[in-house]
Amino acid sequence: MPLEAAARLVSELTSRGYNAEREAVTRLTAAENPNAALERVLEEVPDDALVVRVDHVEAALATTDAGGTTRSDSPASEPAEPTPSVSTGTSETVDSDPTDQSPVETEGSSSIGRSTGPATAERSADPALRSLEITGDMTGESTGTGEYEDFVSVFRDRLDRLGGKLRSRVNHRPATAIQEMPGGSEAAMVGLVNDIRSTASGHWLIELEDATGTFPWLVMKDREYVDLVDELLCDEVLAMEGTLADDSGIAFVDSMYFPDVPRTYEPSTADRHVQAALISDVHVGSQEFMEDAWNAFADWLHTDQAQHVEYMLLAGDMVEGVGVYPDQDEELDIVDIYEQYEAFSEHLKKVPGDIEIVMIPGNHDAVRLAEPQPGFDEELREIMSAHDPQIVSNPSTVTLEGVSVLMYHGVSLDEVIAELPEEKASYDDPHKAMYHLLKKRHVAPQFGGHTRLAPEERDYLVMEEVPDIFHTGHVHKLGFGKYHNVLAINSGCWQAQTDFQKSVNIDPDAGFAPIVDLDTLDVTVQKFS
């Protein structure tokens, strides 16, 4: 079983809301039919379990012949491909199809520099030229009580706001009104994807839901729109147009529309040459935290070469945290969470004091795991106060000299990568997974049994405005490219490969700092490892 298969199994597990014990993954990959074994485990694992443990796997393997003789042809058995360590998405062609079948990236200039750290220079930035505004920070605004009504209002808000981007594009009717229309009528609906099923004859049935009810839409296997079905996620908002069947019980899809980013979107740029470092996943407190690389980065920031870097954005996982994944404690260098933040603060102090820092939390940080995640509490803010960073929620938007940057840690990327076909989203091209979030105008569309979503009155995860830059982390892979002129950039990490990542063949891009020119939105990658 190639190691690639283990990574696939892990992303499949994560997409269903489970973390995994390393040994559990090893057992699963060793089964003769790992996919069948996985399905069996998922059926048998208790509803409230968050972690798939080795005993779950053993129990499932004992009660099944999932170890049987046929090997599935799922992607899990594909051979591993050689992977470039940095993916910059410069190779795709521009697609002018107005139906928007696939994300498009345009070529941005980029280069990778090996930073050796020339002599330290005086930084001469003029803070008076700067501007930094935060929007969408929900810290202190949480209204959720976890009650059923909160789920109703968060989805209603999502449908209202994302539906608003679609309603002018189709002649839509509520689900209940469509049910009453005569057979053969043309109909259109804006709704949340409630269910996606394949039919016995290979067509696709997509159930859309709006405030009045649900209606089933059939995508025929020979229609052009069938190519879009494999990128749909449950709970995303879209519009469908089609023809009602004779009995009006179903409609045949003729077109599909996504909230999307307009193809003609023109991002704002800064009026002067100024740069921002977009990083994430520092993981201080882990034995794998790459202190030398971090120090080299901090030293470089003091050099002439970095004199235009006036902003630093940190997209989560400042520290390694405690108890985030099974067996994580075996790889901790600092076991106390507060001491981890104290150490992180010391590392942050090495960054030139005049650089403006904005940070959001990630899944390893000491805030609630469910998204949106509020910014750190007072005690942690106090620990990190030396550099006076702006600490805001995950997600939040920061506008730097007119350039809006949507910062989101990126946990949903695991899900997008697991659900979509390899060529549309993969760990090697994390920015392509981000394109799908832009197209859906939502940072974490899918709400599954275990998806960590904190229902609020408002859906803070909706991308109301198109950002000029979309910045995520989490998957520990560096990749960037443009989608309808929006720069999508997933920063790498400052943590070398952990034992778990090794066991599932995740090869992180560690010790890179992507630097964005805010006047051109060009990216340069500096390497420090």
Residue from the set 139, 303, 305, 363 that interacts with ligand D5M by CB under 6 A? 363
**Residue 93 CB neighbour total at 10 angstroms:** 9
Q: Is 365 in the site for Fe ion (CB under 5 A)?
A: no
3 state DSSP class of 98: coil
Q: Would you give the DSSP letter of residue 465?
A: S
Residue 87 CB, shortest distance to ligand D5M, in Å, is 15
Residue from the set 362, 389, 455, 492 that interacts with Zn ion by CB under 5 A? 362
- Kindly give, in sequence order, each residue whose CB lies less than 8 Å from that of residue 494, ignoring residues fewer than 6 positions away: 279, 281, 282, 283, 289, 290, 293, 294, 510, 511
Q: Is 325 in the site for ligand D5M (CB under 6 A)?
A: yes
Q: Is 451 in the site for ligand D5M (CB under 6 A)?
A: no
Report the distance separating Cα 239 and Cα 234, nearest Å: 14
Q: Is 344 in the site for ligand D5M (CB under 6 A)?
A: no
β-pair type (51-52, 214-219): unpaired
Using CB under 6 A as the binding rule, the residues of this chain from 178 to 207 that contact ligand D5M are none
Residue nearest to ligand D5M as judged by C-beta position: 325
Using CB under 5 A as the binding rule, the residues of this chain from 446 to 505 that contact Zn ion are 474
Residue from the set 414, 415, 429, 468 that interacts with ligand D5M by CB under 6 A? 414
302-331 mask for Fe ion (x: CB under 5 A)?
---------------x--------------
Q: Is 317 in the site for ligand D5M (CB under 6 A)?
A: yes
β-pair type (403-407, 469-472): parallel
Give the closest residue to 284 by CA, choosing from 350, 210, 200: 350
β-pair type (486-490, 523-527): unpaired
Report the distance separating Cα 102 and Cα 435, nearest Å: 9
Q: Is 396 in the site for ligand D5M (CB under 6 A)?
A: no
Give CA separation, 271 vs 268, 391, 400, 407, 518, in Å.
Answer: 9, 26, 11, 22, 8
Helix (H) or strand (E) holding 359: strand 356-360
User: Which entry of Zn ion, Fe ion, ligand D5M, none binds 10, CB below 5 to 8 A by partner kind?
Assistant: ligand D5M
Using CB under 6 A as the binding rule, the residues of this chain from 255 to 294 that contact ligand D5M are 281
Residue 476 CB, shortest distance to Zn ion, in Å, is 8
Q: Is 424 in the site for Zn ion (CB under 5 A)?
A: no
Residue from the set 231, 241, 260, 317 that interacts with Zn ion by CB under 5 A? 317
| Burial status of residue 378 (CB atoms within 10 A of its CB: 0-12, 13-18, 19 or more) | exposed
| Size of the chain, expressed as the number of residues it contains | 529
Report the distance separating Cα 525 and Cα 477, nearest Å: 13
Q: Is 474 in the site for ligand D5M (CB under 6 A)?
A: yes
**Positions that interact with Fe ion (CB under 5 A):** 281, 317
Binding site for Zn ion (CB under 5 A): 317, 362-363, 474
Q: Which residues bind ligand D5M (CB under 6 A)?
A: 10, 14, 19-20, 281, 317, 325, 363-364, 414, 474-476, 500-501, 506
